Amino acid sequence: MNAKAQQSKDDFNAINTRIQNIDARLKDISALQKQIGIYSKTREVYAAYRKAGYSKKYLAEHGDDIAAHKAAKKYFDALGLAKLPTINTLKSEYSALAAEKKKLYAEYQPARKNMQDILSAAQNVRQLLNYREAAKEKETERD
């Protein structure tokens, strides 16, 4: 009974861990897509800023775009990306992971219910055995 309870816990935890990993990757993909969009939109402004010789006047006019471009570049550097993935590649990965997550959720509920049922049954058996042992001890005390 204990082995079956442990196996059901392990199965549930494996599914739960995989779902959490997928959620984390989906979040990373979303953030990366956002940063790529910002980088793409501000690339021309930053190129013009460089072409203007890093002019303070140009910086004053386009400071927000330049700061956003630098922040996006810093984000990519922190990830260690030498080459940016395409938005389409990220969208395909996102949709594949979302489909896998949906499939895992279909397994999640039955695995959770199975684990809860087995753990409940194991607890009931332990309580019953403890009750029987307590009853035997009382009998031996009476004798």
pLDDT per residue as tens digits for the range 76-124: 999 998 899 999 999 999 999 999 999 999 999 999 898 999 888 888 8
C-alpha to C-alpha distance for 107 and 113, rounded to whole angstroms: 10
pLDDT at 140 over 80: no
Task: Please report the pLDDT score of residue 138 as a whole number.
Answer: 66
Least Cα distance to 5 among 140, 120, 141, 135 occurs for 120
Q: CA-to-CA distance for 49 and 59, rounded, in angstroms?
A: 7
pLDDT at position 3, please?
82
pLDDT for residue 41 is more than 70: yes
Mean pLDDT in residue range 136-143 = 68
Contact by Cβ (8 Å): 40, 65: no
**What is the sign, positive or negative, of the torsion defined by CA atoms of 7, 12, 13, 14?**
positive
